């Protein structure tokens, strides 16, 4: 009997010890792991201020339909335009090579030398057929034997002509030798095909075969190896059977080319979609990998009443916004006098500047209430992208604790923050031993290592300091033992 009692007491004692030890381990672990605090950051958001960020935004048709149509009265017009990213140059081949092998680059160099130091990039389209010039393809190419036809005062090439292709290829090699991969060059349009380089043969011309279009795509791919090439949607789909359209589209995308659409707001052009996009399916996948480009013609729309009211509120703005969202445009341009446009559409201009491309909001930060100097801690940030497209470049996320300790969060990749979606990222930081005990602000900064520019977050300016860090939270630092 006594032995049974002793055994029972021993079992009970052993169970008590087991429970006590587990309790100590749990309490000890709880004490070691700092309390986690999740802070909602939405009260810091500023969805109205313009985030003028790299690799996105408005562009201005500096040269288009000639060299005089869209020139600004002063630099101040573009300098005051919210979210202006780059200047777009569309000129004919004849401007650059008036004689074979003799090049006139000042049309590009003068613009670059003046505007790039001010922070603007350049994009380029060189066309072979223009309504304003009989010989957009230089006359010496025709004299050398290139075949074509004259229609409506335009020389229209036969694109498969070997002389035309040989001279065109040699010219683009010269362009690429001088400009391919330059830091100021955002992209080059595949402008060798169609009227105005838009890929279609309106109002007259000689439509190239699918095989010829592929040859021209190959030429651009082999020539511009460092610069994004953007194809015109009508190059694939204008007056072609669907099977040919799909063949050209797939081939263009296989070469790593993106797309642009020049149709929205063009008066009198019927489109299959209410947003004015001629070939919406072209943009469904490519925007996930590459920036797309939208060109709108508000100028002609304004003349016939297709754009009415402040900010296009009565007519026009809905179509433009819908087009931007359908094609997930990163770059957007309007054929209009920019000073007049901005005066008549100030709020819409700011809205588009933000919503095109990426637009980043930190929604919340989860961080330990206490950290120990010379220790490792983990924090999380939920990022929201309110823009219509992702970012396409790996901007660098930095964290600063206090005024001195800065660390690069290498596990961050803003390219994975989906458009109109959110992404939670987890970061590990190791604190230096030299931090004194106290309460420290926690701030973040996103930068573009290629240009040295900061990527603005949609947060109130009063939480941003002179170094472009945004304060998100506070953390308590205790001295290491």
Reported confidence tier of residue 480, pLDDT bands at 50, 70, 90:
low
Shared domain check, 98 and 41: no
Residue 432 contacts residue 390 (beta carbons within 8 Å)? no
Confirm whether 104 is domain-assigned.
yes
Neighbours of 418 (CB within 10 A): 15
Residue closest to 128 by CA, chosen among 225, 260, 219: 219
Is residue 324 in some structural domain?
Answer: yes
Q: From CA 253, how far away is CA 292, in angstroms rounded? A: 12
User: Are 98 and 134 found together in one domain?
Assistant: yes
The total number of structural domains that make up the chain: 2
Cα 52 to Cα 46: distance, rounded to the nearest angstrom? 14
The parent domain of residue 443 ranges over 34-48+360-478
Write the CA distances from 264 to 231, 267, 290, 321, integer angstroms: 16, 9, 20, 10
Q: Which residues pair with 185 in a beta bridge?
A: 122
Select from 355, 382, 398 the last residue of a domain. 355
| 411: three-class secondary structure by DSSP | coil
**Hey, what are 404's tokens?**
């001195």
* Residue 15 maps to a domain: no
Whether 328 and 419 have beta carbons less than 8 Å apart is answered as yes
Domain boundary among 355, 377, 398: 355
| CATH number of the domain to which 151 belongs | 3.20.20.80
pLDDT recorded at residue 35: 83
Mean of pLDDT values over 335-343: 92
The more confident residue out of 82 and 27 is: 82
Domain CATH number, residue 471: 2.60.40.770
Whether 300 and 412 map to the same domain: the answer is: no
Both 267 and 283 in one domain: the answer is: yes
Residue 252 pLDDT > 50, yes or no? yes
Phi, psi at 44, each rounded to 5° = -95, -5
Domain assignment present for residue 7? The answer is no
Supply the pLDDT for residue 10: 35
CB atoms < 10 A from the CB of 35, how many?
A: 8
Tell me what the pLDDT averaged over the chain comes to.
90
Which of residues 355, 376, 409 is at a domain's end? Answer: 355
What is the reported pLDDT for 302? 66
Q: In terms of domains, do 407 and 315 share one?
A: no
Mean pLDDT is lowest, of 9-23, 118-132, 256-270, for 9-23
Is 277 in the same domain as 128? yes
Residues 399 and 340 reside in one and the same domain: no
- Percent of the chain whose predicted confidence (pLDDT) is above 70: 90
Question: Which backbone phi and psi does 350 adopt, to 5 degrees?
Answer: -70, -40
The CA distances from residue 94 to 6, 7, 99, 133, in Å, are: 107, 105, 8, 9
Q: Enter the tokens of residue 32.
A: 């070691």
Assess if residue 11 is contained within a domain.
no
pLDDT band with cut points at 50, 70 and 90 for residue 253: very high
Nearest to 331 by CA among 392, 270, 241, 400: 392
Pairing of strands 36-40, 360-368: antiparallel
Q: How far apart are CA 78 and CA 145, in angstroms?
A: 44
Q: Residues 95, 193: one domain?
A: yes
Q: Which of 129, 122, 85, 84 is nearest to 105 (CA)?
A: 122
16 pLDDT higher than 90: no
Residue 424: C-alpha distances to residues 19, 304, 365, 415 (Å) = 38, 48, 9, 13
DSSP readout, 364-390? EEEEESEEETT-EEEEEEEEEE-SSS-
**Does residue 241 sit within a domain?**
yes
**35 vs 44: which has the higher pLDDT:** 44
Let me know whether 369 and 249 are in one domain.
no
What pLDDT sits at residue 13?
Answer: 36
Mean pLDDT within 298-309: 72
Inside any domain, residue 21: no
DSSP-assigned letter for residue 177: H
Taking the mean position of all CA atoms in its chain, how far away is CA 480? Answer: 45
Who wins on pLDDT, 32 or 355? 355
Burial of 156 from C-beta contacts in 10 A (0-12 / 13-18 / 19+): buried
Buried b (16+ CB within 10 A) or exposed e, 46-76: beeebbbbbbbbbbbbbbbbeeeebebeeee
**Structural domain includes residue 17:** no
Whole-angstrom distance between the N-terminal and C-terminal Cα of the chain?
Answer: 54
Higher pLDDT, 7 or 262: 262
> Are residues 287 and 156 located together in one domain of the fold?
yes
pLDDT of 71 over the 70 cut = yes
Do 197 and 113 reside in the same domain of the chain? yes
349 and 376 part of one domain = no
How confident is the model at residue 3, as a pLDDT? 42
């Amino acid at each position: 009997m006594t032995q049974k009692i002793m055994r029972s007491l021993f079992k009970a004692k052993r169970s008590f010890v087991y429970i006590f030890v587990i309790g100590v381990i749990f309490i000890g672990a709880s004490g070691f792991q700092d309390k986690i605090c999740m802070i909602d950051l939405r009260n810091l958001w500023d969805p109205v201020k313009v985030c003028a960020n790299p690799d996105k935004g408005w562009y201005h048709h500096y040269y288009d339909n000639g060299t005089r149509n869209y020139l600004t009265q002063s630099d101040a017009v573009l300098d005051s335009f919210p979210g202006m990213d780059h200047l777009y140059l569309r000129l004919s081949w004849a401007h650059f090579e008036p004689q074979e092998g003799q090049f006139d680059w000042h049309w590009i160099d003068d613009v670059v030398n003046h505007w790039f130091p001010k922070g603007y990039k350049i994009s380029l389209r060189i066309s072979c057929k223009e309504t304003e010039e009989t010989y957009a393809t230089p006359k010496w190419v025709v004299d050398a034997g290139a075949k074509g036809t004259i229609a409506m005062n335009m020389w229209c090439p036969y694109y498969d002509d070997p002389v035309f292709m040989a001279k065109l290829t040699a010219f683009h090699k010269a362009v690429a030798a001088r400009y391919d991969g330059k830091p100021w060059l955002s992209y080059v349009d595949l402008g060798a095909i169609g009227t105005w380089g838009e890929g279609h043969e309106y109002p007259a011309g000689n439509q190239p075969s699918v095989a010829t279009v592929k040859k021209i795509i190959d030429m651009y791919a082999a020539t511009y190896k460092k610069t994004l090439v953007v194809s015109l949607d009508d190059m694939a789909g204008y007056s072609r059977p669907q099977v040919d359209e799909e063949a050209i589209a797939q081939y263009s995308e296989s070469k790593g080319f993106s797309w642009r659409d020049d149709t929205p707001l063009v008066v009198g052009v019927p489109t299959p979609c209410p947003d004015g996009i001629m070939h919406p399916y072209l943009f469904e996948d490519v925007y996930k990998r590459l920036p797309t480009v939208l060109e709108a013609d508000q100028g002609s729309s304004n003349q016939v009443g297709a754009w009415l009211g402040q900010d296009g509120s009565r007519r026009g703005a809905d179509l433009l916004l819908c087009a931007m969202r359908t094609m997930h445009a990163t770059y957007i341009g309007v054929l209009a006098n920019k000073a007049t446009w901005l005066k008549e559409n100030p709020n819409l201009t700011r809205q588009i500047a933000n919503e095109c491309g990426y637009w980043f909001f930190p929604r919340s930060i989860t961080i330990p209430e206490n950290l120990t100097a010379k220790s490792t801690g983990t924090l999380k940030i939920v990022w929201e992208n309110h823009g219509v497209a992702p970012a396409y470049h790996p901007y660098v996320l930095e964290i600063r604790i206090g005024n001195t300790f800065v660390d690069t969060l290498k596990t961050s990749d803003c390219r994975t923050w989906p458009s109109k979606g959110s992404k939670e990222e987890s970061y590990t930081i190791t604190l230096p031993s030299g931090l004194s005990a106290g309460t420290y602000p926690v701030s973040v900064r996103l930068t573009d290592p290629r240009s040295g520019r900061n990527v603005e977050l949609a947060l109130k300016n009063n939480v941003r300091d002179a170094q472009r860090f945004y304060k998100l939270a506070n953390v308590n630092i205790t001295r290491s033992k």
